[in-house]
Amino acid sequence: MASTPLKVRWKQRRNAIFASPAFQRWTARLPLVNRIARSRAGSMFDHIVGFSYSRVLLAVVESGLLGHLKSGPISAEYLAAKADLSHDAALCLLRAARALDVAEEVLPDQWMLGQQGAVLDANEGAQAMIRHHRLLYRDLADPLALLRQDRSEPTELSRYWSYAGALHGAAERGAETREYSELMAASQHFVADEVLAAFRIPGHGRLLDIGGGHGAFLRRVGSACPRLELGLFDLPEVVASARDDLAAAVGEARLTCHPGNFFEDAIPRGYDVVSLVRILHDHDDAPAQQLLANIHASLDRGARLLIAEPMAQIPGAEPMGEAFFGLYLWAMGSGRARSPSEIETMLREAGFRSARLIRSQQPVVTSIIVATA
C-alpha cells in the first residue's frame, strides 16, 4: 500500500489539533492567538448565518429602506407606515440593517444610511442582483437535491436564464434575451471600469464585444475611448433591440452591429480587440472551447481576446468563484467558473499564442485574461 503523502499527513494532523477542545481552550487564553481564533470563529459564523444576511438585504431593497434612509433621519414609525410593517417589525429590520452597517442610528430612533448602506444605495447593479437571487435561494432550498438532479432538469434559474438555451436553438427567444441583457446591464459598467483600469485598450483601434447584449460594456468603453470604433455581436433580436439606443449613446458612425450566433456563425473580422465579458463561464467546456476556436479563426495575427468574468481560485476572491458561482452556474444548468490556468489551457488549445492574467482592482467583480492570436 502506498504511503500517505507528507502534505496529507500534515493537514490531517493540523485538522486534528484545531478540532481539539483542549487546543481551543488554550488559544482562548493567549492574546495574539486569541485574536486570530476569534477572527476565524467570526468567519465561520458568517458562513453559517450568511443566508440570513442576504435575506436582510433583500428586505432592505424591496422595502425601499435605502431611499428612506438616504432622505432621513427617519423613525421606525415612519418606516412602518411606508413599508406596511408593524412598528416592532420595522424596528427589527432597522436593527438588522444596522448590524450589517446598512443603517445607522444617529440619535435615539433616528436612522440614516450606514457606510455599507451608502455604497449599496449607489450600486443599482448590486440591488438588481439582490432581487434576482431569490431565484437562486429557491433552487438551493435543498442543495443536495439540486446537485443530484440532472443539469438538464429545469430550475428556477434555468427557466429565467434561458439565454444559454436560446443559443442552442430554442424558439420564442426575444423576451428572454431582453431580460438577460437588462439584468446584465445593471452591473456591467462596474466590470467595464475594472477592465479600463487594468487593460489599455487601443484608443484608435477597433473593439468587438461578443455577446454584448444591450451594449452596457460598449457604452462605458466608448465613453472612455472616444475614438475607438465599436462592434456588437449578439443574437439578431438582441442586436435589433439594442442598435438605436446604443448608436445614440456612442455615435452611429463609430458603431457596427453584427447579428448572429457566436457558436454557429463566423465572427466578424478586422477587429484589434475582441471582448468576452461574463460570457465564457456561462457555457460548459465543449461549447466554451468551440467559442474560443471560432473567435481565434476570426482574428488577425497579433489581435487580442479580452476575457473578463469572475474566475475560480483567485487570491482574495476564492468564495466568489467556486462557492457562489459554482452553485449558481450549476443551478443555471450550464457553465462553471474556471481558474486562470484552465482558461489559459483552453486558449492554447484554441490556437492562441499567449495568454496572461491581468490583476484587477476588485477580483470579486471580475478577473481579466488577455490572449494574443
Average pLDDT over the chain reads 87
In tens, the pLDDT along 236-280 reads 988 998 899 999 999 999 999 999 999 999 999 999 999 999 999
Please confirm whether the linkage preceding 5 is cis (ω < 30° from 0).
no
Contact by Cβ (8 Å): 229, 221: no
Q: Is 145 exposed, middle or buried (0-12, 13-18, 19+ CB in 10 A)?
A: exposed
Q: Which of the pair, 55 or 4, is modelled with greater confidence?
A: 55
pTM of the model: 0.81
Query: First vs last Cα of the chain: how many Å apart?
Result: 48
pLDDT at 159: 84
Contact by Cβ (8 Å): 37, 24: yes
Strand 229-234 to 255-259 pairing: parallel
What stretches of 265-311 show up as alpha helix (H) in DSSP?
285-298
Please name the amino acid found at residue 209.
D
Q: Which of the pair, 73 or 19, is modelled with greater confidence?
A: 73
pLDDT at 352 over 60: yes
Calculate mean pLDDT across residues 351-363.
Answer: 94
pLDDT at 100: 96
Calculate mean pLDDT across residues 289-295.
Answer: 97
pLDDT at 27: 60
Please name the amino acid found at residue 185.
A
Calculate mean pLDDT across residues 188-216.
Answer: 90
pLDDT at 42: 65
Query: Residue 277 phi/psi, 5° resolution?
Result: -105, 110
Q: How confident is residue 185, by pLDDT bands cut at 50, 70 and 90?
A: low
In tens, the pLDDT along 204-231 reads 899 999 999 889 899 999 999 999 999 9
Neighbours of 184 (CB within 10 A): 22
pLDDT at 39: 64
pLDDT at 132: 86
Domains contained in the chain, CATH given? 1-42 (no CATH), 184-372 (3.40.50.150)
In tens, the pLDDT along 106-152 reads 999 999 999 999 999 988 878 888 988 888 999 999 999 999 999 98
In tens, the pLDDT along 2-17 reads 678 887 777 777 777 7
pLDDT at 172: 43
